[in-house]
Amino acid sequence: MKAIDLFAGCGGMSAGFIENGFDIKLAVEINGEIAQSYKNNHIGTEVIVDDINNIDDKVLRNFRDTDVIIGGPPCQGFSMAGSRIREGFIDDPRNYLFKGYFNVVQKIKPKYFVMENVPGLLTMQNGAVFNEIKRIFSDDVLLDGDKYYVHHNIFKAEEMGIPQKRERLVIIGALNKEYNFEETYDLAKKGILNRNDRFFDKVNVRDAIGDIPEPTKSGKVILNDISSDYQSSLRTKDGVTTNHLKTNHSKKAVERMSKIKPGENYKVLDEVIKSVHSGSYGRMERDKPSVTITTRFDTPAGGRYIHPEDNRTITPREAARIQSFPDKFDFTGSKTSICTQIGNAVPPKLAYFLSEFIKTIDEN
């Protein structure tokens, strides 16, 4: 099946769909540095580096045979113009990113769309924003007589065999085709289990990064022996990976980290730490999943991102492992950009399940 990835980032969503046999024909990403990382890892996909609203209709004509549109418009722009005015939502300039996503769906009319976002979207303005999004995709006037049957679910990364407490809202629409979400979910899960009976096993930090040695100056390392099925599923054939670079922390930060045991955070320090994050200077526990990987995983004050044993935060490769990126995925760009790419990505393993979900709707 052919797909388009909007707000593609470095390509976490694409990676999962590609692994399950989908052909990503086009990706759109506004940040040039991040788009370059996408290009490097998805050879053969046409990448447009631009605002989604600048995509020319002539370009879209080349992708009329697209089966699926995937992606997650950033939620910061979602707002309602005063009271709940139906015409106001789609036309409100503050929602231009969502409108861009909808416009591409409206013009191409793929058989399916998969929209990923934060769970908070469900309660934004007492649910009015979410309800309006569902209504727009189901409006046969806006879609020239067609409509999408739309369902949603909050997916927990842990339940997908990902070593991370991360929750994402996913909205899935099928063009002119009703489907039962629960039945489709169960069938998709069975389909994956038939191929890999360990896919949904619970995974902890040790399972994720236990084979990764000390960081190197180049970031390139030869991994230690495999100690979990999760590691085995992500490793390259030669056991080599990249992006394993540690952050250069100040002496004060290292001193603080040395006093913190697994499961503890700044509260055990005999000093006042100014941080807006409740998990600041938190050390990971090997036998538990990680907290949600954010764009600040390289910062001790950013949350529970201190390595279980070493006095440093986790490296980009370790964060990528926790996000379920395969070891062959090489992140390029500045340190800040790479942290953003990994923290903002849809875990490829979650994307793989979503791709199986789409296949299941299509086959039933």
- The closest alpha carbon to 306, from 317, 290, 295, belongs to 290
Catalytic positions, written as ranges: 75
The tokens 């040039």 sit on which residue?
A: 32
Q: How far is CA 270 from the centre of its chain?
A: 37
- The closest alpha carbon to 249, from 296, 298, 293, 295, belongs to 298
Q: What is the CA radius of gyration of the chain?
A: 21
Reduce the secondary structure of 212-248 to three states and give it as a string. CCCCCCCCCEECCCCCCHHHHHHCCCCCEECCCCCCC
Taking CA atoms, 314 is separated from 84, 165, 297, in Å, by: 44, 16, 7
Distance CA 46, CA 8 (A): 12
DSSP state of 268: G
